[in-house]
Amino acid sequence: NYRIGMASNYLRHGESIANFSSGAGKISRINAVTLGESPASEENDLVLPSDEFCRQALIPNPQKYLEMYKRSVEDPAGFWSDIASEFYWKQKWGQPVFSENFDVRNGPIDIQWFKGGVTNICYNCVDRNVESGNADKIAIYWEGNEPGFQDSLTYSQLLQRVCQLANYLKDVGVKKGDAVIIYLPMLMELPIAMLACARIGAVHSVVFAGFSADSLAQRIMDCKPKVVITCNAVKRGSKTIQLKDIVDTALAESSKNSISIDLCLTYENQCAMKRGDTKWQDGRDVWWQDVVPKYPTSCMVEWVDAEDPLFLLYTSGSTGKPKGVLHTTGGYMVYTATTFKYAFDYKPSDVYWCTADCGWITGHSYVTYGPMLNGATVVVYEGAPNYPHPGRCWDIVDKFNVTIFYTAPTLVRSLMRDGDQYVTRYSRKSLRVLGSVGEPINPSAWRWFFNVVGDSRCPISDTWWQTETGGFMITPLPGAWPQKPGSATFPFFGVQPVIVDDKGIEIDGACSGYLCVKNSWPGAFRTLYGDHERYETTYFKPFPGYYFSGDGCTRDKDGYYWLTGRVDDVINVSGHRIGTAEVESALVSHPQCAEAAVVGFEHEVKGQGIYAFVTLVEGVPYSEELRKSLILTVREQIGAFAAPDKIHWAPGLPKTRSGKIMRRILRKIAARQLDELGDTSTLAEPNVVDQLIALADC
Ligand code: PRX
């Protein structure tokens, strides 16, 4: 079993890792900046892996990690080439293995891995497994929203389904490089659609099925897909959501803007709604079940260059317009497969369940590509994790004998609140590794996850990464070293994180600052679709020479990394990334809203909640009805997950004399830290602050 010890008992390994990853010889300005909280006492808490776990682990000790890490940064070409060689390449990559310009001062940012290599990620995910003796292994166990609804596909059945859809898409004219929007819930058809696109070289763009019609339309207009793939409806918990209606509205909106989509392939999700009840536009709408099963179950692969685009995934930034993060094929393939394998200590006998939706990057890299590249058995769950009761997750774990369970801290906190009894009534003895992603996991949630869910037996991989990074960047490798509750621990192979101060100077040793990365890694995104300039401005210009993550970070005396949250205008709500500007622009589109400013505030379950200060049009009175209508506007324009938790009526907003909103003050008011407002004398109208405080609980 694990033992909880003190760092002082663990000098040898901790120190050697710390020395290695903190980069000796850098300009040392310890604690030059302090962002967020310091890990304080947690940094002394160590959770040691059991000998039993270490004995079977892929990386069983710090020495093995250090040896591999050292090679990965000293000889990245050799390190990654060896791994890439385990996959199928129609033609091997050329030389150099990778090239990068990572410094804006030296010209445009340019990252390439395995250029000239010809491959196909769908082939490597599916055909390769079928051909290597895993044809009858379960690829997907599917569990429906309603208990009792389930299905499964072996790797050979998956191949057939993927090929049928790929053939259909080709037949309707989808070609290499064309975009396809996928707006589906967690049906098996979602990973099937992703893989079918990849098979024919089409670029998929999955839009999370919780996004509103407006958001979907915005994405359709940006990437101009040949086809939109959706389903008629889905049940989430006890609610039925008519997705096809949302798509209809989005398509009407985009055609008003001269982007018309000729084909909407619609899966009939019979568990949610019969086809007769679905609104239909003849000529444009086609039922999946009427066409796709008629196509041949084999389909030639479209071989693509390693640097050909694989997918676009829109994510929030600090302006109102979502960014189309573009990932390419070869490097992403090698990186997601490798990170999955090591961070979860993956073995072929594992049954893996990631609760993320394929509409987010986690579902791309760690529901579909990473696991399938390893030939894993993946659980795909359609429903809400607490439906029809808070024990549903553990019911599913026991049912499929899940060994690796990967989720978000928000779910951990909400299940923790429901009580241990919902967990302990299930066996969970199959579990051996747990994972966390999306936001910092607070130490108390970590401990509950570890002690109650994992019976103090399963290491937790708290994986830090982003849509942009493609795969894990800082993550525990279970068995390799002790964990600290709440720390993402050490960098993955090939990743050289640095912490910089506000002048962009690297800080050495124990410190806090902005988290950057100083070299490329195979899974890095290559650009923002159609806007390379924004790519450079957002990520490479703030600290020239580095990739800037947008996150604050602390490194402790043992070299462990502690993520402290976003330092830009992005908030992280239940692990979903939301730009404050997006919510603000939705609010101000309301006819009675004159101005809005949105900040994050600490939320017990969601991690961060959305706090909106709203100034109404002159003469409009505050009312409960108006509050609801403002929230509804955000739901309609972005999606329910972005609905503000709190609307604070604001007769005016605190602004500098040049008109800039002082969010620092708003954050303090939202947190009710009223004695920490700081200097308000530079405000154009200092009395607005008093007015805001007076209205705090209205
Ligand atoms: O702030 C970090 C947080 O989520 C952001 C990335 O969001 P997104 O691109 O939507 O991807 C989420 C899934 C990878 C990061 O900038 N974040 C993600 N994982 C962690 C985290 N913060 C702390 N600890 C993590 N493990």
DSSP 441: P
What residues contact 364, with CB distance under 8 A and at least 6 apart?
A: 194, 206, 311, 313, 358
Atom of ligand 1 minimally distant from the CA of 360: 10
| pLDDT on residue 42 | 62
In whole angstroms, how far apart are CA 687 and each of 586, 654, 691?
A: 27, 9, 7
pLDDT digits (tens, 9 = 90+) for 357-395: 999 999 999 999 999 999 999 999 999 999 999 999 999
Which of the four pLDDT bands, split at 50, 70 and 90, describes residue 682?
confident
Regarding the beta carbon of 357 and ligand 1, being less than 6 Å apart is answered no
Distance CA 496, CA 17 (A): 13
Distance CA 506, CA 589 (A): 42
CA R_g for the chain: 25
Regarding the beta carbon of 663 and ligand 1, being less than 6 Å apart is answered no
Output the CA 39–ligand 1 centroid distance in Å. Answer: 18
| pLDDT on residue 697 | 85
What residues contact 533, with CB distance under 8 A and at least 6 apart?
A: none
pLDDT digits (tens, 9 = 90+) for 275-309: 999 999 999 999 999 999 999 999 999 999 999 99
Res. 43: pLDDT tops 70? no
Where residue 495 falls (left for φ over 0; alpha for ψ -120 to 50; beta otherwise) is beta
**Mean pLDDT value of segment 641-648:** 97
- For residue 568, indicate whether it is catalytic: yes
Output the CA 437–ligand 1 centroid distance in Å. Answer: 6
Res. 7: pLDDT tops 70? no
Residue located nearest, by CA, to atom 14 of ligand 1: 466
Task: Identify the weakest region by mean pLDDT among 2-16, 138-152, 185-199, 532-546.
Answer: 2-16
Res. 517: pLDDT tops 80? yes
Tokens of 23: 């980069």
Number of helical (H) and strand (E) elements in the chain, helices listed first: 23, 33
| pLDDT on residue 3 | 40
pLDDT digits (tens, 9 = 90+) for 467-488: 999 999 999 999 898 889 999 9
Residue located nearest, by CA, to atom 15 of ligand 1: 466
Regarding the beta carbon of 488 and ligand 1, being less than 6 Å apart is answered yes
Exposed/middle/buried for residue 110 (C-beta within 10 Å: 0-12, 13-18, 19+): middle
| pLDDT on residue 407 | 98
Q: What are phi and psi of 76, to 5 degrees?
A: -60, -35
Global model pTM greater than 0.90: yes
Q: Which residue has the higher pLDDT, 208 or 18?
A: 208
Output the CA 573–ligand 1 centroid distance in Å. Answer: 11
H-helix or E-strand spanning residue 288 = helix 288-291
Q: What percent of the chain has pLDDT over 70?
A: 94
Residue located nearest, by CA, to atom 11 of ligand 1: 466
Res. 8: pLDDT tops 80? no
Q: What are phi and psi of 423, to 5 degrees?
A: -90, -50
Distance CA 595, CA 587 (A): 8
Distance CA 386, CA 401 (A): 19
| pLDDT on residue 33 | 24
Indicate the top mutation candidate among 311, 466, 549, 641 to test ligand 1's pocket, ranked by most ligand atoms within 8 A of CB.
466
Long-range contacts of 589-596 (CB under 8 A, 24+ apart): 589/633, 589/637, 590/629, 590/630, 590/633, 591/617, 592/616, 592/617, 592/620, 592/626, 592/629, 593/617, 593/630, 594/618, 595/650, 595/653
Q: How many residues does the chain have?
A: 698
**Mean pLDDT value of segment 2-15:** 38
**Mean pLDDT value of segment 112-121:** 98
**Mean pLDDT value of segment 489-504:** 95
Question: Which of 573, 579, 569, 505 has its CA nearest to residue 543?
Answer: 505
Output the CA 347–ligand 1 centroid distance in Å. Answer: 26
Output the CA 12–ligand 1 centroid distance in Å. Answer: 30
Regarding the beta carbon of 315 and ligand 1, being less than 6 Å apart is answered yes
Cα angle value 219/225/229 (rounded, 5°):
90
Regarding the beta carbon of 439 and ligand 1, being less than 6 Å apart is answered yes
Tokens of 429: 């003895």
Regarding the beta carbon of 322 and ligand 1, being less than 6 Å apart is answered no
CB-based contact 499:512 (threshold 8 Å): yes
Distance CA 409, CA 388 (A): 20
Res. 689: pLDDT tops 80? yes
Q: Which residue has the higher pLDDT, 11 or 78?
A: 78
Average pLDDT, the chain: 92
Which of the four pLDDT bands, split at 50, 70 and 90, describes residue 680?
confident
State the catalytic residue, choosing from 398, 455, 508, 568.
Answer: 568
End-to-end CA distance of the chain: 51
Tokens of 673: 């830290």
Output the CA 412–ligand 1 centroid distance in Å. Answer: 16
Task: Determine the angle formed by the axes of helices 663-670 and 687-694, rounding to 10 degrees.
Answer: 20
Question: Which of 341, 404, 330 has its CA nearest to residue 97?
Answer: 330
Question: Which of 624, 682, 598, 687 has its CA nearest to residue 651?
Answer: 687
Tokens of 187: 């049906």
Q: In this structure, is the dihedral angle defined by the CA atoms of residues 355, 516, 346 and 121, taken in order, positive or negative?
A: positive
For 22-138, where are the alpha helices, taking DSSP H only? 51-56, 62-74, 76-84, 121-122, 128-129
**Mean pLDDT value of segment 77-99:** 98
Burial of 41-53, coded b for 16+ CB within 10 Å and e otherwise, reads ebbbbbbbbeeeb
Q: In this structure, is the dihedral angle defined by the CA atoms of residues 309, 312, 315 and 321, taken in order, positive or negative?
A: positive
